[in-house]
Structure 1
């Protein structure tokens, strides 16, 4: 499940109906994440952009449990985040980016967060987005998630990750070449 293969972004009608059903059920179960939003409006926007449904399917397939967390007031876009309780299982044990992966001399993981996210058509959460997500529940109480890292930090070899412990969001740094069985990344998608 680690690598996304090929560049096919089309789903069959059956696959599309399946993921839309799962998204609708999650949407209805977790109203606290998106008060005031209507599923019918979100679904209409998704059906007009089927490549976004494919990206949501990739998020789902790797354990992200994507859900709507808001709407951009200016653009009208709906915003999805990975809302799995722990960092997505199908994206764990990966370095931050290709440069980090390339710098490893041995025990190289199969992939990296930046390339996986790009292949899925999503972006890593920022620190601000991660903190917003944590306002809707407690996420990453046993795991951690890579975050978008400012270029100044990345140039020095570091990368950021965050987790929720002791009732608090903690943000840390690691070398971008690091990887752990309990660290993946959370993504965002705008539709």
Structure 2
């Protein structure tokens, strides 16, 4: 992706984000950070196949996040992580949320980020999203997921080996300007 297309896509994401979130920094400052070589390599690969991203400011960090209303067909039927996929005895999923995130050098939203974003946005009314889960909970073979029903956001837990046609995940890229 050439730099002009990259900058244009980021500008559109920034402008759309202002409809939902207060962003404390000007676009040019954010663009300069996201145009640094290591960031550019990660983000340009991600946004070349994804036009639906949003930028939010949460806990003194920026989050660049998937913003599709419901899970994409390419993102469902995945268990939580590689260990869960390999340990499933029958009918293992073809992939996992964390394998895909790691391949892109991105991460999953955690439950606090998901709750914050859902307070401003309206996702997962018919689907759900795996969420980054603390290691102590994950070691017990469970992971968090969230959805939104009737205007309320819910966080649940499920076995990490499970996968469903309506459960996917949302990716994020976290950065600070200072």
What TM-score, normalized by structure 2, do the two folds share? 0.85
Residue 37 of structure 1 corresponds to which residue in structure 2?
25
Closer/same/farther in 2, CA of residues 62 and 161 from structure 1, 3 Å limit: farther
Whether 1:161 aligns to 2:145 is yes
The answer as to whether partners of 1:59 and 1:65 remain within 8 angstroms in 2 is no
1:4-153 aligned at under 5 Å gives the runs: 12=1, 14=2, 16-31=3-18, 32-47=20-35, 49-60=36-47, 63=50, 65-70=52-57, 73=60, 78-153=62-137
The answer as to whether partners of 1:62 and 1:91 remain within 8 angstroms in 2 is no
For structure 2, which runs of at least 5 residues remain unmatched after alignment? none
* Secondary structure of residue in 2 paired with 1:33: coil
For structure 1, which runs of at least 5 residues remain unmatched after alignment? 1-11
CA offsets per residue over residues 132-182 of structure 1, 9 Å max, x none?
111221111111110011222212211110001111111111111111122
Closer/same/farther in 2, CA of residues 64 and 139 from structure 1, 3 Å limit: farther
Q: Partners in 1 of 2:159 and 2:51 — Cα distance?
A: 24
Q: Please give the root-mean-square deviation of Cα atoms over the aligned residues, in Å.
A: 2.2
Shift of residue 109, structure 1, vs aligned partner: 2.1
Shift of residue 30, structure 1, vs aligned partner: 3.0
Pick which of 53-62 and 96-105 moved more.
53-62
Shift of residue 17, structure 1, vs aligned partner: 3.2
Q: Partners in 1 of 2:92 and 2:49 — Cα distance?
A: 20
